[in-house]
Amino acid sequence: MNQGKFAFVRLRLPAVLALLLLSLVGCTHLRQAVTPLANRQVAALDADAIVQMMQRAGFSDEQILGLGTDLRNSLAAHGAAQIRVRDKTEAIFAVHAPYIHVSSRQRGTFIYDVEKGEIR
């Protein structure tokens, strides 16, 4: 009978570990987010511009992949966005044509020139 209980525990352990892993992945995803902010001007940017700005602001490649699309969509639809990681504001991006003004926790403030495609 003890062996039957042991087999039951052996079968449940992988399921419990899988649920734990999924919950950790879910928590990590929820701990970073792009929040659109209202602005009067908007900008439709390509992926290269988003990558360049996010790299300069100090985001990792993984964060750029995970948050870049939401940032691009927020700037195109609302004109500004805030990126929060673990309940702290990491960066704010705001369109003021022809520039994107960026203020980041890690790397300070800079301006991206949309027309020239470069950081000033």
Residue 18 scores a pLDDT above 60: no
Give yes or no: residues 22 and 49 share one domain: no
Residues 106 and 49 in one domain: yes
Q: CA–CA separation, 95 vs 76, rounded Å?
A: 9
pLDDT in tens, 32-78: 999 999 999 999 999 999 999 999 999 999 999 999 999 999 999 99
Q: Is 76 in the same domain as 39?
A: yes
Q: Which residue has the higher pLDDT, 118 or 5?
A: 118
Beta-carbon contacts of 102 under 8 Å, excluding residues fewer than 6 positions away, are: 53, 56, 57, 91, 92, 93, 94, 109, 110, 111, 112
Residue 10 shares a structural domain with residue 65? no
| Per-residue model confidence (pLDDT) at position 26 | 47
Distance of alpha carbon 67 from alpha carbon 90, whole angstroms? 12
**What pLDDT sits at residue 56?**
98
User: 57 and 91: one domain?
Assistant: yes
Residue 6 CB neighbour total at 10 angstroms = 10
This prediction's pTM: 0.75
Q: Which domain holds residue 14?
A: 1-30
